[in-house]
Amino acid sequence: ILNVEQSPQSLHVQEGDSTNFTCSFPSSNFYALHWYRWETAKSPEALFVMTLNGDEKKKGRISATLNTKEGYSYLYIKGSQPEDSATYLCAFASYNTDKLIFGTGTRLQVFP
Amino acid sequence: KAGVTQTPRYLIKTRGQQVTLSCSPISGHRSVSWYQQTPGQGLQFLFEYFSETQRNKGNFPGRFSGRQFSNSRSEMNVSTLELGDSALYLCASSLNRDEQYFGPGTRLTVT
């Protein structure tokens, strides 16, 4: 059974703080690792799709790294803002299957 | 480009009934995936359709079924509804195995 785990489950930070979350996934048969942001009352929105070991991607204040050999990815948010408040989901895709396996998410709340 | 649309947005059904949910993907996307979200759970994969064929299936009972039409629109059907089927049902479209574009979801409540 493929398992994707995210930690922490929830996080409360002050505006301006930097923060990071972890996504752990199976290290075998790796194909891709996706990060999504899901704001309340909206649809999940893709942040990054990462495929190469050592990959680093950045979008504004948000960046992500990938280690496929040990099976983890980090998502960083620099200088958190209240509008960053959302649930951040990661999803793993393997060569064995076309389906994405999602983690349960990290719920981030940024207080002004 | 129009996004993924889902209808209806909200639905209330009683146990034993059946329900059909609809998803229209982004134009040009041939892959449509369905997910179930319940409180405390991550997105649970239901199935994926590509060019009218079910390409992948999650671990859900046979009461959950789907189909895809030639215009890539997809429907999901749940028969003999149970209370535990109350959830947010999301569909997502993609070009092959690229990032997925999610619809707004259908909130199903079974009473």
Q: How many CB atoms lie within 10 A of CB B111?
A: 10
pLDDT digits (tens, 9 = 90+) for B47-94: 999 999 998 899 999 999 999 999 999 999 999 999 999 999 999 999
B42 neighbors B22 (Cβ within 8 angstroms): no
Q: How many angstroms separate the CA of residue B8 from the nearest CA in chain A?
A: 15
Residue whose C-alpha is closest to residue B98's, from A91, A59, A37, A89: A91
Residue of B88, B99, B100 best to disrupt the A interface, most CBs of A under 10 A: B99
> Strands B10-13, B106-110: parallel, antiparallel or unpaired by DSSP?
parallel
Q: How many CB atoms lie within 10 A of CB B101?
A: 20
Given an 8 Å threshold on Cβ–Cβ distance, is B45 in contact with A101?
A: yes
pLDDT at A94: 86
Is residue A59 within 8 angstroms of chain B, CB to CB? no
**Number of inter-chain CB pairs under 8 A, A vs B:** 53
Residue B37 has pLDDT above 70, yes or no: yes
Q: How far apart are CA B95 and CA A58, in angstroms?
A: 22
